Each structure stands twice: as structure tokens, then as C-alpha cells.
Amino acid sequence: MEEVVSTRAVRLPEDAEFLLAVYRSTRQDEITGFGWTGTQADAFVALQYEAQSRHYGACFPDAEHSVVLVDGRAAGRLLVERSESAVHIVDISLLPSFQRAGVGGELVHRLLDEADNRGVAVTCHVYVGNDALLFWERLGFVATEDKGAYIALERPCGISRH
């Protein structure tokens, strides 16, 4: 990957519109299938994004919220909560134009290195049926729990990523 991938802390309110756009991109295929007007879709996305934000805030109060940058351009968001026993990837979402380009892999590899240096596991959740499950499996993550709509995944400390 030739592009420089970096992160910076989310700055509200200035990042709010971008973060909503990233969230919308993750739901676009689903929303298109509803046949809604633009106004209806916008209202749905805003409500769902707000609900997700409240949930993350309540369940992961200490999570680090970052904007993902590629060559200085806003490309997505990353939420990570660190504890004594794990690095938990709460959310990693990239705009479609930055997907399948190595950006997500670069971010996760950095977190895997951090976790290995600390001697802890890396965990995350993936929505059942999400194509991203293959991405996580390639990185050494294994399913640890079926949570209904989501699958809990873990990559134990020190597992080779190659």
C-alpha cells in the first residue's frame, strides 16, 4: 500500500456530517431495497446512527473514537476500546471508495501488533452474513460466541498473521 493511513481523534461537531455519511454507506444496500424516498431514508439513517452512537457510548464509554485518514483525506471511522485483557475493535467502517484497498488491513495489523506487544487478545463482533467475516478469519480471528445477529471473534495474542 503506497498511501499513508493514519487516524486522528474525532472532533465534534465538525466531524458529525462525515461520520453520518460513513454510517450511511454501511447501510446503503439495505436502504436501497426499502424503496423509500430520500427524506425517508435520511430520517431512518439519522435515527439508526443516533441509536448506535448511544449504544456505543453506553457499552464502550472509554472507547477511542478516530477518523481514519488516507493521505490526509477522511476515509472512515475506527472505535477501539482497550482494557487490561484485550484490544476490542468496536467498529471499523470505511467509505466504499477505500474498501478492499488495504486500509482496513493496515489499521487492524497495527492493533494486532499493539495487542501482541501488550500480551493481550484482539476482539470484535461481525454481523452474521457480513462478507467481512472472511477478512477477520484471514487475520487469525476465530468465532468465540454466537450472539444471534452477531458473531463474537477473537485473535489470541501472538498468532501469526501471515
pLDDT tens, N- to C-terminus, the chain (162 residues): 578 999 999 999 999 999 999 999 998 888 888 889 889 999 999 999 999 999 999 999 999 999 999 999 999 999 999 999 999 999 999 999 999 999 999 999 999 999 999 999 999 999 888 888 999 999 999 999 998 899 999 999 876 544
Nearest 10 degrees: CA dihedral of 45, 24, 79, 104? 160
Nearest Cα to Cα of residue 92 among 149, 130, 37, 45: 130
Q: What is the CATH number of domain 5-155?
A: 3.40.630.30
Residue 139 C-beta-side C-alpha neighbours within 13 Å: 27
Q: What is the DSSP string of 8-57?
A: EE--TTTTHHHHHHHHHHHHHHHHHTTT--HHHHHHHHHHHHHHHHHHHH
Inter-residue contact 46 to 56 (CB < 8 Å): no
Please report the pLDDT score of residue 162 as a whole number.
Answer: 44
Q: What is the reported pTM?
A: 0.91
Distance of CA 38 to the CA centre of its chain: 25
Give 95: exposed, middle or buried? Use CB within 10 Å, 0-12, 13-18, 19+.
buried
Count of other CB atoms within 10 angstroms of residue 15: 18
| Spans of all domains in the chain | 5-155
Please report the pLDDT score of residue 88 as a whole number.
Answer: 98
Distance CA 112, CA 15 (A): 27
Please report the pLDDT score of residue 131 as a whole number.
Answer: 85
Write phi, then psi, for 62 (nearest 5 degrees): -100, 10
